Structures are given as C-alpha cells and as structure tokens.
C-alpha cells in the first residue's frame, strides 16, 4: 500500500505551493503532484505587476522564486498526471495517476487549475497546430512580423495583445461588446500601441485557412449583421476558462460548469478535501487570491488532520 501522507496537494501553482509551505511549517507531511512545471500558469505570464511586494517580475522568475521558497523547506514537486481522487472507507484519500502510481493522504488539497474555453467555431480544432493558439507568451514568437487576431475583451486578452504588439505586425482584437472588460490600466497600455486595434460588436463565426495554416477569420457584426472576412496569420483565443475538476467530480459537489463548491475555509462537500484557486467557485483568478486560498485551506487542513489524532 502507498505511503500515507498527512496531506496530498494536487497542483503546484501559487495556491498549491503556498498550501505546502503552511502544511510543512505546521509539522505535517505532504506531497505536491503536478503534470507541469511548478508555478503553474505564472510560467506563461510575461509580467506580474499586481502581486503585493513585487513591483515588476517576469512570470517564470516569480514561479522560480516560489519554487525555491518551498524547496528550502524540503518540499519538492512530484511530476504526475492525476486522473482520479477517491476516498477510502477509513476516510483517507487516494490520488490515482495515469502511471498507476497512487498517493494517499489523510487530507487532500485540490488545486488543479483551469484550461482555456474553446470558441467552438468551425476551423478551431482543424487549425490547432496551424495558427490557433491559447497562449501568446508560448506561441507569439512564431508570428513575428505577421498579422494576428485576438478574440476576447478581458484581462487575459488585452495582456496578451500588449505582449503580441512587440512581436507581430498588427493585433486586431475582436470583441462582441462596445467596451472591453479588462482593467483600465491594461486598456490604456493597449491603445497606446500603434499596431493595436479593436473590432467592436463582433464575433468569430469561422476560422479559415489552407494547406493546414490559418489565413483568416469570418466575422459577424452583431449590431449591423454585416459579415466580413479578415485576413490574418494567427488567432489567439481568450474567451474564459473551464476548471480541471474531472478528477474529483464524482466525489464532491460542483456547479453547472464543474467548479468545486467550497465554503469560506475552502472546504468541499467532502470532509478533508479542500479546493482552491481557479478550480473552485467564485475565484477571482489572481495570484494573490490563489495564495490566500492556499493558506486558508492549509490552516483548515492542519486542524482537520490534528483533530484525527
């Protein structure tokens, strides 16, 4: 039988790393599992400027500092793809991976994050490897000097648009409303860029291409009903996210979109299982909130484990 830890932490983003730090300092044994690099989505962020105490840092730089912080306490990330979390008759949790490894914990802190929501239009899946992307920081380099379309109007869409303006020829943001939802400071920065523009009241109906590569998008203006074909070399999509909660959906309560229902202490409907960060309901999807969630869940988990004797 697998070793029994006090806490198994699924996810090595800011929330999971913070939870591990608090659990370790409280004297609990823990293991962190993640299929990607420690730091999570911070690694795909160009710059962080809204985390208190950090005036400016590159995303990978901050992720590295967080990883080094927990490593100084002897905490390491175990690379594993978690497929399912189950609860045993004695109340302990077993975390199953695709490599048939199992990790057991008296408590479980689940922070597996989220993934981009698909646009759901013709051509999106066909050109996933030929011009459709969900990460400008990852793929922007391949569009140097080219024309791209960004779909969305929130923080992520505008942050990535700003990043792309430094690389590509032009960035056209397509937004279904008449105003952006991004923070005003981000909007101001974007509109300062000469190669950035917005097509308002519009949605993408189809992504078109030839020879396996994107060549344009078909737009519908929701206000006028006009349809246009816009030429571009790449399409970056930012229309929200969906939770990576598949591993616990048979175990805990979730909302209609799969976000884990928790209380103010990050407790799920199952005693001993906590959900934090982007995977839980009502998350504001910020580094600061994920770290706060991690601390809250860890303190609650420490109390839960200690109460078991």
The residues annotated as belonging to the active site are: 135, 138-139
Report d(CA 270, CA 33) in Å as an integer. Answer: 20
For 11, half-sphere exposure in the C-beta direction (CA atoms, 13 angstrom radius) is 32
> Which stretches of the chain are assigned E, i.e. beta strand?
4-10, 30-34, 47-48, 57-58, 77-79, 82-87, 93-97, 102-110, 114-116, 132-133, 147-151, 170-174, 196-199, 202-210, 213-221, 227-231, 234-237, 241-243, 273-275
φ and ψ at residue 74, rounded to 5 degrees: 85, 15
Q: How many angstroms separate the CA atoms of 234 and 150, rounded?
A: 9
Tell me the C-alpha distance between 174 and 216, whole Å: 13
> Dihedral sign, CA of 294, 182, 201, 221?
negative
Take residue 150 and report the two structure tokens written for it: 């960004």
């Amino acid at each position: 039988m697998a070793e029994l830890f006090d806490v198994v932490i699924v996810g090595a983003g800011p929330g999971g790393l913070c939870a591990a730090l608090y659990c370790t300092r409280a004297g609990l044994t823990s293991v962190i599992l993640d299929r990607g690099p420690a730091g999570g989505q911070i690694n795909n962020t160009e710059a962080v400027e809204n985390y208190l105490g950090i005036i400016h840092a590159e995303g990978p730089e901050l992720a590295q500092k967080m990883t080094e912080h927990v490593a100084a306490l002897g905490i390491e990330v175990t690379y594993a793809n978690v497929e399912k979390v189950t609860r045993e008759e004695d109340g302990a949790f077993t975390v199953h991976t695709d490599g048939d490894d199992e990790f057991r914990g008296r408590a479980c802190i689940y922070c597996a994050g989220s993934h981009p929501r698909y646009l759901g239009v013709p051509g999106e899946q066909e050109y996933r490897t030929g011009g459709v992307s969900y990460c400008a920081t990852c793929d922007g380099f391949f569009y140097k000097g080219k024309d791209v379309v960004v779909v969305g109007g929130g923080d992520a869409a505008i942050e990535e648009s700003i990043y792309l303006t430094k690389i590509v020829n032009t960035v056209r943001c397509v937004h279904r409303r008449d105003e952006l939802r991004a923070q005003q400071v981000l909007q101001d920065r974007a509109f300062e860029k000469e190669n950035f523009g917005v097509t308002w009241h519009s949605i993408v109906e189809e992504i078109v291409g030839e020879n396996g590569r994107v060549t344009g998008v078909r737009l519908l203006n929701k206000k006028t009903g006009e349809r246009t074909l816009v030429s571009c070399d790449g399409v970056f999509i930012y229309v929200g996210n969906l939770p990576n909660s598949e591993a616990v959906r048979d175990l805990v309560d979730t909302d209609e979109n799969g976000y884990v229902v928790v209380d103010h202490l990050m407790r799920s409907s199952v005693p001993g299982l906590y959900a934090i960060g982007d995977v839980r309901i009502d998350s504001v999807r910020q580094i600061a909130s994920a770290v706060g969630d991690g601390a809250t869940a860890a303190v609650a988990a420490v109390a839960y484990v200690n109460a078991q004797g």
